[in-house]
Amino acid sequence: MVANIRKITIIGGTTKSGEKETIERLEIHKGDIITLVGPTGSGKSELLSDIEQLARGDTPSNRTLILNDSELDCWGRQMVAQLSQAMNFVLDMPVEDFLELHASSRGISSNPIIEEVIGLTNSLSGEPIGARDNITSLSGGQSRALMIADIAIISDAPVVLIDEIENAGINRLMALEILSAKGKIVIVASHDPLIILLAQKRIVMHNGGMFKVLETSKEEEEILKKLIVMDNELSALRDALRRGGSAGIAGAAVNCRVQPHEADGGDHQQWLS
């Protein structure tokens, strides 16, 4: 059903100050997970936008994008799905009606798929959502989780562009895994070390230009393993606290130590791992 995108080639353009971009040519292949890193304003969103618009030297960056071996000159229908920074829905209707509408707009039979999307949503976020909940009444995290599950299952585009996945209190590792399934090209702008190192490659942005391309090294992979352990500990602690447990008990269960902290003289507790 989905057209075959094997490769996206980015031909470098110019930086914000008009100099030639350091990276002159970059190929992104099917199955690649690429992160865009760099401080706010360094050009991450603009690069995502160039990809989405399939720039032809006509955007402010002067970049040119090539699909496959140039046999496609524009994105076909439903080839690109984008997870923006939106944290809530606008349409006001129950979850299942919304998913049914979305599925039918893509000509998909909706029955099994609705349950699948809701199940996936609930594995990503803390509080489960129900089929009859109104989508506008969902929390930021629940909305985000539903958007991700919906992109993964119903939109199912070969190219997924993500502008920050981290800020919603959802299981972002699982989210990324879900979105990058089935040999897609996934490009994520991120400030999160875990997400950055999880990708095989990262594009370092500077002054509006692609400055460096780094592959995740063996050493970084080791660091990533540690980060994942730390992240799991954090999540377990978060869950325990959310459920009304205390840090000490959670600590025993997830192997993280909690120490009393006297910094501001009170009975404040700060946990350390």
Partner 1 sequence: MKFVTVAGPPSSGKTAVLIHAIKHLLKDGIRVVVGKIDCLGTNDGEKYLRLGIPVIVGLSGDICPDHFYVPNLEAIFNWAEEKSAQIAILETAGLCHRCAPAIKGCLAISVVDNLGNIDIPQKIGPMLSTADIVVITKGDIVSQAEREVYRRKMELVNPGAEILEVNGLTGKGSLLLKTSLMQATDVDTLTGRELRSSMPACVCSYCTGEKRIGKSFQLGYIKKIEATETEGGQR
CB of 49 to partner 1, least distance (A): 5
Residue 125 binds partner 1 (CB under 8 A): no
Measured from the CB atom, is 111 or 217 closer to partner 1? 111
C-beta of 13 vs 251, nearer to partner 1: 13
Sign (positive/negative) of CA torsion 41, 24, 9, 71? Answer: positive
Restricted to residues 147-186, the positions that interact with partner 1 (CB under 8 A) are: 147, 150-151, 154-155
Sole window of 47-55, 182-190, 192-200, 219-227 interacting with partner 1 (rule: CB under 8 A)? 47-55
Please give the helix or strand (H or E) that residue 92 lies within, else none: none
Separation CA 169–CA 185 (nearest Å): 24
Give every CB contact of residue 134 below 8 A, 6+ residues apart in sequence: 92, 93, 94, 95
Question: Partners of 127 in the beta sheet?
Answer: none
Considering beta carbons, is residue 104 or 111 the nearer one to partner 1? 104
Residue 228 has phi, psi (to 5 degrees) of: -65, -40
Q: Which residue has the tokens 């500990």?
A: 233
Whether the Cβ atoms of residue 162 and residue 83 lie closer than 8 Å to each other: yes
Binding residues among 103-122 for partner 1 as defined by CB under 8 A: 105-106
Kindly tell me which residue out of 44, 102, 172, 202 binds partner 1, with binding defined by CB under 8 A.
Answer: 102
Q: Which of 19, 24, 27, 58 touches partner 1 (CB under 8 A)?
A: 58
The Cα–Cα gap between 257 and 245 comes to: 15
101 binds partner 1 (CB under 8 A): yes
Q: How far apart are CA 37 and CA 35, in angstroms?
A: 6
Question: Smallest distance from the beta carbon of 151 to partner 1, in angstroms?
Answer: 5
Q: Which of residues 186-215 bind partner 1 (CB under 8 A)?
A: none
Distance of alpha carbon 25 from alpha carbon 8, whole angstroms = 11
User: Encoding tokens for residue 144?
Assistant: 């985000």
Return all residues near 92 (Cβ < 8 A) that are at least 6 apart: 134, 135, 136
**Identity of the residue, 84 or 270, whose beta carbon is nearer to partner 1 in the bound complex:** 84
The region of 45-53, 170-178, 225-233, 234-242 touching partner 1 under the rule CB under 8 A is 45-53
Residue 52, classified by CB atoms within 10 Å of its CB into exposed (0-12), middle (13-18) or buried (19+), is middle
By beta-carbon proximity to partner 1, the closer residue of 8 and 103 is 103
Stretch near partner 1 under the rule CB under 8 A, chosen from 21-29, 32-40, 51-59, 227-235: 51-59
Q: What is the 3-state secondary structure (H, E, C) of 22-38?
A: CCCEEEEECCCEEEEEC
Is 49 an interacting residue with respect to partner 1 (CB under 8 A)? yes
Give whichever of 105 and 109 is closer to partner 1, judged by the CB atom.
105
Q: Which residue's CB is nearer to partner 1, number 89 or number 271?
A: 89
Chain positions 74 to 93 lying near partner 1, rule: CB under 8 A, are 78, 81-86, 89-91, 93
Q: Which two tokens stand for residue 211?
A: 């400055």
Q: Which residues bind partner 1 (CB under 8 A)?
A: 49, 52-53, 55, 58-59, 78, 81-86, 89-91, 93, 98-99, 101-102, 105-106, 143, 147, 150-151, 154-155
